[in-house]
Amino acid sequence: MVANYKGSEDYLYDYFKSIKNQNNKNFDLLIINDNVRLYDDLKLGIRIHQINVTGNIHVSQVRFKGIKYALDNGYKKLIFSDIDDYYSENRISETLKHLDYYDFVY
């Protein structure tokens, strides 16, 4: 799950490249769009769900909307990510492996 917000445009390419390069592609990417239009043709090799939020709300409220969406749609595991980070190709697989044994991984 990642929040996309105004001002994050400089990071989008690198973020999505690191997501596309994950060695495990068996996950959904939940993108919470905070008043930002995202490309409709993202081809990352994974399932993408865009949750659009509007209004002048705090970042914690944006994340809450993403968590609520995940819970309402039956997700059992959430991996939070930041749009301005670039992840190693095994971030998802390693995190999922540890989430099998622990409730929280950081």
Averages of pLDDT over each 10 residues, the chain, 106 residues? 84 89 94 76 80 83 92 95 92 95 91
Query: Cα 90 to chain center, whole Å?
Result: 15
The reported pLDDT for the residue numbered 36 is 75
The reported pLDDT for the residue numbered 45 is 81
The reported pLDDT for the residue numbered 41 is 62
Beta-bridged to residue 5, according to DSSP, are: 34
The reported pLDDT for the residue numbered 27 is 93
The reported pLDDT for the residue numbered 58 is 83
Q: Please write the tens of the pLDDT for every residue from 9-18.
A: 888 889 989 9
| Per-position DSSP letters for 32-96, written without gaps between them | EEES----TT---SSEEEEEEE-SS--HHHHHHHHHHHHHHTT------B-TT----TTHHHHHH
Q: Cα–Cα distance between 104 and 64 in angstroms, integer?
A: 17
